[in-house]
A and B are shown apart, each in its own frame.
Chain A
Amino acid sequence: MIDKAFVGSKKYWSWVIILLGLIGIGTLAYLYQFENGLGVTGLSRDVTWGFYIAQFTFLVGVAASAVMVVLPYYLHNYKAFGKVTILGEFVAVGAVIMCMTFIFVDMGSPYRILNVFLHPTPHSLMFWDTVSLFGYLVLNAIISMVSLGAERKGIAPPKWIKPIIYISIPWAISIHTVTAFLYSGLAARPFWMTAVLAPRFLASAFAAGPALLCILCLIVRKVSKFDPGDQAIRNLAKIATYGMIVNVFLVLMEVFTAFYSDIPEHLLHFKFLYVGLDGNTTLVPWMWLSAALAVFSLILMINPKTRNNFKTMVVGCIAIFFSLWIDKGLAMVVGGFTPSPLGEVTGYAPTFPELLISIGIYAMGALIVTGLYKVAISVREHKLPAKMVVTEKVASETA
């Protein structure tokens, strides 16, 4: 089955080669960082975690969002998602591997990474995060490969896969909850110490993930004969819209609590992000861009006319994805560090090597997803006619 990833058109191969090139550059940049220490990044005493950990946090959300297609399909028997579940699961696999790599490149002594398993420490949330991420990767790899394999042979998937699928649903919620707990249990960092962090993480995940999946479905439809179906894409867009609405609502809750209570140690972080603090305004334009994109995306996505038109919908999805990427992939982590517990404002911006490493990791994720999608699409294209008819029929009946 995997062999399908190694046959493809010229276009397919040029895309793969571009990704491989970026991975190569990223690897060289990592070797440079490994040799010289994490000092080659923009990180510091005060801003101890930055771009890497922020990407990790954002991508855990993307990974968890697979549950938004798995749950309707397997628990509610929502047939229209029959063709996208595998696409969601494969994105999850790629995203989890990226998460792990981002954690790895952030380690000061990566050659000791096995200490996490040699000395398991249940009172550390990082231990639980490792456990939940690994588990989620295994679950998704098994589920997607087994169901795709069965589909290729034209048989029903084995019965034992059902309980594994059911386990994967709460597990998806758990990976992002535990990731939020990494932050929200720290007395030293008032910006993160909010019970709404985990729900907010989940809401933004269920917006950004399905938005990405919408975009991917439209790409798949364009580059292959496999069509995930209008109805599936439209409903994914609907899920992304609800996720985004809940996320914006929760952000506003945070803003209210910080500003009305007027407690400096909560307020100052928001000030740093939205107006700047002690003359440091690095993130201010990004934050307002994120807010503007959020509003813009909601206008496009709440209105059924623009949401159901694929041309405007894709713009809305890109806006959601990018708005949330700024929020989680740039601001959330750095905002928690500024000001520091001692009240210091230290500037942070990722350096060139840091960005190259990050781009390399994203390219690796893209390569994994590309390869897995290629396999899935080849299997589907191969047995297209019969399957298409059946699913379309069921879909129209459900509708």
Chain B
Amino acid sequence: MSNDRRKFLKVAGFATLAVTGSRALGAANLAPTPWLKGGGLEAKRWAMVIDLKKCHQQEGCTKCMDACHLEHNVPKIEIKKHEIKWIWKESFHHAFHEQEHEHTPESIKHSPIPVLCNHCDNPPCVRVCPTEATFKRESDGIVMMDWHRCIGCRYCVVGCPYGARSFNWEDPREHMDDITENFPTRMKGVVEKCTFCETRLRKGLPPACVEACEYGALTFGDLDDPDSEVRKLLESNYTIRRKPQLGTEPQVYYIV
């Protein structure tokens, strides 16, 4: 069903592209992935499994978030309304409110859930972006961002059902203690979010959050590979995803 819709959108899109000119065709073929041919990690479909049981044993732990935010020069902004977050903690009530009930175990109800961009198979943010500044990399499914193309209209923020996107309401560079040299900082007026650490994957490294979690709560791998760690976890555990009813096909899975 969702496949049909995507096909339809593609056909409709291409029909219109023919009208809007050859410049548009160039833009539609975006997202080349030459770097994956090098010595980096490759996959057909990257996905993450978060084991909440393991995560919840480490009360107050923020290692994954700290590592991610340091790696990607994510600013620390005091004003809650202007916060930039790539991976952060939400209550079960906020992250999974449709799956919560009166008698949900207290241990689950009150334990924070790490949340991040779901790198959806059918990402609404990509569908709404008017400049293709955000796009899904067909080679491995990562939902990427081009910070040089983003016009800051925030339509993607509006379209994302997970609150995974942050807009730079102010100059982020004024809110950084240390700047990691090998990763760009952003400027005010653009949207940003988790990239599944595509720059690290290119270098053959796992995502920063996965590496930082010493407790093995975060597993990252290729969903297309039946022998991958993520596939094994998904086959041996009951997992849930955030708002699966919306048809976005999120690729972050949670073991409750």
Chain A interface residues toward B at CB < 8 A: 36-39, 43-46, 48-49, 103, 106-110, 112-113, 115-116, 118-127, 130, 182, 186-189, 337, 340-344, 346
Contacts and interface: CB of A to CB of B under 8 A. Distances in A.
A45 B130 contact: no
A115 B90 contact: no
A344 B94 contact: yes
B189 A115 contact: no
Given A45-B82, A45-B163, A108 B154 contact: yes
Interface in B79-105: 79-83, 90, 93-95, 97
Contacts, number: 154
B74 to A, nearest CB: 14
A38 B149 contact: no
A45 B166 CA distance: 7
B131 A122 contact: no
A387 B177 CA distance: 74
A341 B159 CA distance: 10
Contacts of B191: 108
25 contacts: A37-B188, A38-B169, A38-B188, A39-B169, A44-B80, A44-B82, A45-B82, A45-B83, A49-B158, A107-B153, A108-B150, A108-B168, A108-B188, A115-B131, A122-B24, A123-B9, A125-B128, A130-B130, A186-B124, A186-B159, A187-B161, A187-B248, A188-B160, A342-B90, A343-B93
Interface stretch (B14-22, B63-71, B194-202, B231-239): B14-22
B80 to A, nearest CB: 8
Contact of A120 (B20, B79, B81, B149): B20
B158 A112 contact: no
Contact of B190 (A109, A118, A337, A341): A109
Nearest to A36: B170
B81 A121 contact: no
A113 B169 CA distance: 18
Contacts of A112: 131, 149-152
The A interface is mostly helix, strand or loop, or mixed, namely loop
B254 interface: no
Contacts of B188: 36-39, 108
Interface string B205-226: 0000000000000000000000
Interface in B161-199: 161-163, 166-171, 188-191
Given A45-B166, A119-B132, A188 B158 contact: yes
A107 B131 CA distance: 13
Nearest to A117: B23
B153 A126 contact: yes
A126 B246 contact: no
Nearest to B154: A48
Contacts of B247: 187
Contacts of A116: 130-131, 151
Contacts of B21: 120
A286 to B, nearest CB: 21
Contacts of A121: 24, 27, 129-132
Given A37-B188, A108-B151, A108-B152, A124 B129 contact: yes
